[in-house]
Structure 1
Amino acid sequence: MALTYFKRFRMEIPLDNLPEASPLPSGFRYCPWNAEMLKRHAEVKFQSFRFEVDANVFPCLGDSEGCFRLMREISMRDGFIPAATWLIENEDATTANWRPVATVQGVRDRDGNGSIQNLGVVPGFRGLGIGALLLLKALDGFRQQGMPRASLEVTSQNIGAIRLYERLGFRIAATVYKAVEMGTVQTTTQA
């Protein structure tokens, strides 16, 4: 089977001088990690990535069960950092129920730095600034654990995410290529 390659950037940020996070908009709240929220994180991950290019780069992101397995795997890693793993929920004004709309997970890498695994915001809640606030919350969790730096990887086609990360202080540290079998690549649309 033929391979295609996706260009990705490894971006890094020092944690000693993080920007101050603004409060969440009205009707939103942070939810810290607990194992009972694993399915909620997985569902937000699926809703956030299923129609995005990252579902081609990492096919599990385009599948609900794949997102559940990935979330379970992340939460069971030795380096999993609960203090850098959060949900943002939004209150539905008509039902007064809270629904998860954004997720982030963090782990300690082999060098002892923070590593963002996934930052996802459900379409319909993008452009409100909650992704930036959630990322700052995760970075603060790494800082509280004594980590000097944090990193993440982003597909080069995800221009909006790259701009967000640069605005918060991330800088491109390396370019990497992810090989994917052509049979798993699907046509996606930007939400």
Structure 2
Amino acid sequence: MRFMNFHYVKRYRMEMNLLRWQAPMLRLPHGYLLVPWHHSLTQRHAEVKYHSFQGGIDAQVFPCLAELEGCQRLMSEIKAKDGFVPEATWLVEYVGAGFRNAEYCGTIQAVRTQKNGANIQNVGVVADHRGLGLGKGLLVASLLGMQQVGITRVGLEVTAENRSAVQLYQRLGFRSVRTLYKSVELACIPAGS
């Protein structure tokens, strides 16, 4: 017998004004390349999303991130939205081990929410490639792409427990504008079952 237990996860709604943003230098470490959006890369975005989020807090908050099929569905939904912003959608490819062993290891997408506003979706970096500045590189590339198409207000949501992401967003100019709580269902198996 399983009982469901609910837990509330604290999340921040963060926003930035791109009209006031001073873009930092866009740099990735040696052996990493930014790959712009192309519809043929939908599956690659889904795979990177899955490998980035599986087993983490965001996969608990959003169960679709815990399964490859869920990530495929999510990526298909994002690219089908009227407001999808291809200019702000990127992959990071690691080619440091040679092009035959290249792998995708970072992803970001954006969706326009109004004429001059957009939301960043699912910034993800695969665990083996974290701590190298790839998340910052993805964000800078995405924000520059949004500027290119006239977007001036950008928002995102982040789980408060993900301190490194919150700090990165703050360093780039995002400010917390609202605190949200999302109910997360946790399965509990009683002792002796």
* Shared fold per TM-score greater than 0.5: yes
Q: C-alpha deviations, 1:7-59, integer Å up to 9, x for none?
A: 10001111122322332221111111111100100000001000210000000
Q: Does 1:171 align with 2:175?
A: yes
**C-alpha separation between the residues in 2 aligned to 1:164 and 1:131?**
8
Q: Does 1:130 align with 2:134?
A: yes
Sequence identity (%) = 47
CA contact (8 A) 1:92 1:99 kept: no
CA contact (8 A) 2:33 2:94 kept: yes
Provide structure 1 residue ranges, at least 5 long, that are not aligned to the other structure. Answer: 185-191
Alignment of 1:143-154 (within 5 A): 143-154=147-158
Alignment of 1:24-103 (within 5 A): 24-93=28-97, 96-103=100-107
2:16 to 13, 16, 21: 13
**CA distance change for structure 1 residues 140 and 94 in 2, over 3 Å: closer, same or farther?**
closer
CA contact (8 A) 1:11 1:173 kept: yes
TM-score, normalised relative to structure 1 = 0.90
Q: How many pairs are equivalent?
A: 184
Residue 114 of structure 1 and its aligned partner are, at CA, apart by 1.6
What is the match of residue 191 of structure 2? none
Q: C-alpha deviations, 1:88-113, integer Å up to 9, x for none?
A: 10015256432101000000014641
What is the match of residue 186 of structure 2? 182
Give the letter aligned to residue 14 of structure 1: N
**C-alpha separation between the residues in 2 aligned to 1:23 and 1:2?**
44
Secondary structure at the counterpart of residue 100 of structure 1: strand
**C-alpha separation between the residues in 2 aligned to 1:152 and 1:65?**
23
Provide structure 2 residue ranges, at least 5 long, that are not aligned to the other structure. Answer: 189-193
Q: Does 1:105 align with 2:109?
A: yes
**C-alpha separation between the residues in 2 aligned to 1:160 and 1:35?**
30
State the superposition RMSD in angstroms. Answer: 1.7
CA contact (8 A) 1:13 1:151 kept: yes
